[in-house]
Amino acid sequence: MTVLGTSCLNSLVMDRPERAPEGLGFLFAMPLDRYVRILPNTSGAISFDWFLDRFGAPLTPQGSPDFAALEAKAKAVPRGAGGAVFIPYVNGAGVLAPFYDPLARGSFFGVGSHTSYDHLLRAVYEALCFATRDCFAAMSVQPTSLVLTGGGGKSAFWAQMFADVCGLPIEIAAAEESGALGVALLAGVAAGIWPDIETAAAATARVAARYEPDPVAAADYDGWFELYRQTRDVYRRYSQQRAALKPAEVAA
C-alpha cells in the first residue's frame, strides 16, 4: 500500500519481520503475527505541491489548483517527459528511503531549450512513481499489487502511471480517510467490535477501481526508471559538498 500524502509511505504487509534494507524505514508489529514494513519516501505530494506553488498552476474559479487541467497538460507529453528526469527530494528533512541522507536535495536533469512547463510537470508526476518503485525495489519481499490512497490516489491518470511504472496492478481504496480507518480497525478489533482484522477489513474496506499495467508503457518506463536511479545516485554524491557551502542569505 502506498499512501501518497505529503510524505509517501510505501508499505508492505508481511507474515514475517523482514528488515531489509537494514537500518531504513520502519517495521511495525501488528496483531495476528503480521508485520508492516514501511519505506517512506519523504518527498511525496510535497514535491508536487512545491512545483505548483513555485511555478504556478491553472486554477479553478475557486482559486485552487485545477487538477483536471494539470493532468491534461501532463497527459499531452509523452512518457519520459521529453527527456526531463525529476529527482523529487525537495523535503527539507532529506531522504529516509531507499537510502538515508538528510542532506539530499532534488533536481531536474535532462532539460533542454525545448523543455516546457508541461514537460517538467510530467516529470514530477513520473518522479513520484519512480520514487515509489525505488522504495519497493529495496525491500526483500516484493508486492504483487499495490493499493494507492491519499490525495494522489484520486487521479486515474496518476494511478495508471503508477501501474505502468511499478509493473503492478494498482487498486484505489474506496474508503475516505483510509489512514484513520486503518487505526480505527485495529482499535475496533482490540475493543471487540470485530473478532479479527480480516472481518474488520471485509466489512469496511472496498476497492473503488483497479488499474492494470500496460506492457508497452511498462517497458518504456523500465528504461526511464533505470535512468532515474542512476541520476539520483549521481546527485547523492554531492549532498555533503552542497551542504558545506553555506547558501547566501536571500534578501527579504
Partner 1 sequence: MSYVIGIDKGTTTTKAAVFDARDGRVLATARRATKRFRPNPD
Contact positions vs partner 1 (CB under 8 A) = 5-7, 46, 92, 105, 175-177, 179-185, 187-188, 191, 193-194, 203-206, 247
Taking the C-alpha atoms of residue 24 and residue 98, their distance in angstroms, rounded to an integer, is 7
| Residue nearer to partner 1 on the CB measure, 89 or 130 | 89
3-state SS, one letter per residue, for 149-202: ECHHHHCHHHHHHHHHHHCCCEEEECCCCHHHHHHHHHHHHHCCCCCCHHHHHH
Distances in whole angstroms, Cα of residue 133 to Cα of each of 122, 139, 202: 17, 10, 28
Closer of 22 and 176 to partner 1 (Cβ) = 176
Look at phi and psi of residue 110 and say left if phi exceeds 0, alpha if psi is from -120 to 50, else beta.
Answer: left
Closer to partner 1 by Cβ: residue 194 or 227: 194
Q: How far is the CB of 244 from partner 1 (least distance, A)?
A: 13
Q: Which is nearer to partner 1, 29 or 250 (CB)?
A: 250
Residue closer to partner 1 by CB (options 70, 173) is 173
Query: Closest distance between partner 1 and the C-beta of residue 251, in Å?
Result: 16
Compute the distance between CA of residue 160 and CA of residue 43 in angstroms, rounded to an integer. 20
Instruction: Answer yes or no: are the C-beta atoms of 120 and 50 closer than 8 Å.
Output: no
Cα(183)–Cα(180) distance, integer angstroms: 6
Minimum CB distance to partner 1, residue 10 (Å): 15
Minimum Å gap between C-beta 188 and partner 1 is 4
Closest distance to partner 1 from the beta carbon of 68 (Å): 22
